[in-house]
Structure 1
Amino acid sequence: MQSRLLLVEDDPEIARVVRDMLRLEGYEVTWATTGLEGWEDFQRGSYDLVLVDLMLQEMDGFTLCQNIRWKSDVPIIIISARKEDEDKVEGLQLGADDYLAKPFSLVELKARIESQLRRWRRYKGVPVSENKTNYTHELTVFWDQRKVLLSQKTVSLTAMEFDVLKVLAQNPARVFSKSELYEHVWHQVDEEGLHTVTVHIRSLRGKLEDPVKNPKFIQTVWGKGYLFIGEPL
């Protein structure tokens, strides 16, 4: 089931990067630019987690956290440039479940969101599915566990190799250029990173026993990039 997240952030640059990353990870994201807008969105919708900045217009993040907590036990993660201990303590005392100071890593943000959602599901008694996909040629990917099996044997992937596979496999109809993969996986825009993508694709293909000339999973679209061609069962 797709998790619904509410992002309350007034910095459009940060908000778009976070929103796009989360949508790529399969989340449904609503973006509010002020505290009042975030509160109105929360009351109108049903959300599994809320991301809140503290320095907001119309209603500050502290008040928004307090209002949400009076109404719901949904997980709240504060993302703020305010790093003072008093702000962290106040935010947690008002009901926030976690506090992440800016600038933060998107990888860390994703991990904290996943951790809070797991706790939320256990709290609600929602059975946690394996969330796996079986493909032809005996490939199985366990998305939450970040585990890959090939012919019933575990494939030892690095974190970045798994993320490359995830981006490709969860967007099977899309050709990703090297620069797009580098942006989505490493969350950077840097032409020097294209060689890094090449190295990881080569390593990933080797571990998946996926030859370039007769691919089963990752096809090179010459002049454009890479396309996932694995067929789900």
Structure 2
Amino acid sequence: MKSRLLLVEDDPEIARVVRDLFLREGYEVTWATTGLEGWEDFQASHYDLVMVDLMLPEMDGFALCKNIRWKSDVPMIIISARKEDEDKVQGLHLGADDYIAKPFSLVELKARVESHLRRWNRYRGTPVYEKKSDYTNELTIYWEQQKIKLSGNEISLTSKEYDLLKVLAQNPKRVFSKNELYEHVWNYVDGEGLHTVTVHIKALREKLKDPIKNPVFIQTVWGKGYQFIGELM
């Protein structure tokens, strides 16, 4: 079975050429025209490789790469007309695996995609996260079932509370700003929802019985955001 590709490109001429190339090769290709549409497509389905332009409406390619990498180790290739070294470095630091500048050779793009897919298919035999994770202070997260237990009792979380816990717990010790969490969990890129993040974090802490002053799971980093400090057993 051929791999599934996500192409996020707002230039219709480039996108159609790239899409048609891989369709002829037997791949399944989803084309998104904005960064936000690409992020929604990525969350809604499974992909084996993502190709991302940097200059995108609604959510730029840097933010999209960052969001995808928090969620998955899927190969990402940046395709961009921006050739500055700092853009390449920033994209790679955000988790992209490769960078190809426009205009580019379709033969070269195809070869790079095939190379990354070979490595990805070898890697996928070992998942990054097991089916469940046990933490000190009697917290267990069941990743596939999307549920948690505290002291042996199942805790009912809303979908947003679980998504917040998941992105924090799967990126331990990393500090997430409210803007980043709102963008990642609620799929919006404006700053109108910062209070929403605060409310959901508060509710999540209450359900985890995690005090603000002496937290064992979610710590506030004043002036910056939140980080997960739970220790794996």
Instruction: Using structure 1 for the length normalisation, give the TM-score.
Output: 0.57
Match of 2:211 in 1: 211
Deviation at 1:183, TM superposition (A): 1.6
Other-structure match for 2:19: none
Q: CA deviation at 1:48?
A: 8.9
Q: Distance in 1 between matches of 2:78 and 2:223?
A: 39
Please state if 1:7 is matched with 2:75.
no
Distance 2:212 2:54 in 1: 43
The structure-2 alpha-carbon separation of the partners of 1:144 and 1:29, relative to structure 1 and needing over 3 Å to count, comes to same
Runs of 4+ in 1 over 6 A off after TM superposition: 126-129
* Partner amino acid, structure 2, of 1:8: M
Deviation per residue, 1:121-165 (Å, 9 max, x gap): 9xxxx7998522110011011222211111121111111111111
Distance 1:222 1:206 in 2: 19
Counterpart of 1:23 in structure 2 is: 69
- Please state if 1:45 is matched with 2:116: yes
1:52-87 CA distances to partner (integer Å, 9 max, x unpaired)?
xxxxxxxxxxxxxxxxxxxxxx9xxxxxxxxxxxxx
Residues 93-124 of structure 1: CA distance to partner in whole angstroms, max 9, x if unpaired? xxxxxxxxxxxxxxxxxxxxxxxxxxxx9xxx
Please report the RMSD computed on the Cα atoms of aligned residues, expressed in angstroms: 3.0
Indicate the residue corresponding to 2:202 in structure 1.
202
- The amino acid across from 1:5 in the alignment is D
Contact map agreement 1:5 1:47 (CA 8 A) in 2: no
In 2, the alpha carbon distance for the partners of 1:127 and 1:177 equals 30
Q: Does structure 2 retain, via aligned residues, the 8 Å contact 1:5–1:30?
A: no
**Distance of 1:148 and 1:7 partners within structure 2:** 31
Hey, what does 1:181 align to over in structure 2?
181
Q: Distance in 2 between matches of 1:37 and 1:10?
A: 17
* Structure 1 counterpart SS, 2:144: coil
- Counterpart in the other structure of 2:43: none
1:21, distance to aligned residue in structure 2 (A): 2.1
Say if 1:5 and 1:27, in contact at 8 Å, map to a contact too: no
Q: CA deviation at 1:32?
A: 5.5
TM-score, normalised to structure 2, is 0.57
Rounded to whole Å, the distance in 2 between the matches of 1:4 and 1:134 is 28
2:27 aligned residue: none
8 Å Cα contact 1:135-1:231 kept in structure 2: yes
Amino acid at match of 2:199: V
Deviates more, 1:163-172 or 1:34-43: 34-43
CA drift at 1:182: 1.0
Q: Write the deviation string for residues 182-206 of structure 1: whole angstroms up to 9, x where unpaired.
A: 1221122222201000110011011
2:72 alignment partner AA = G
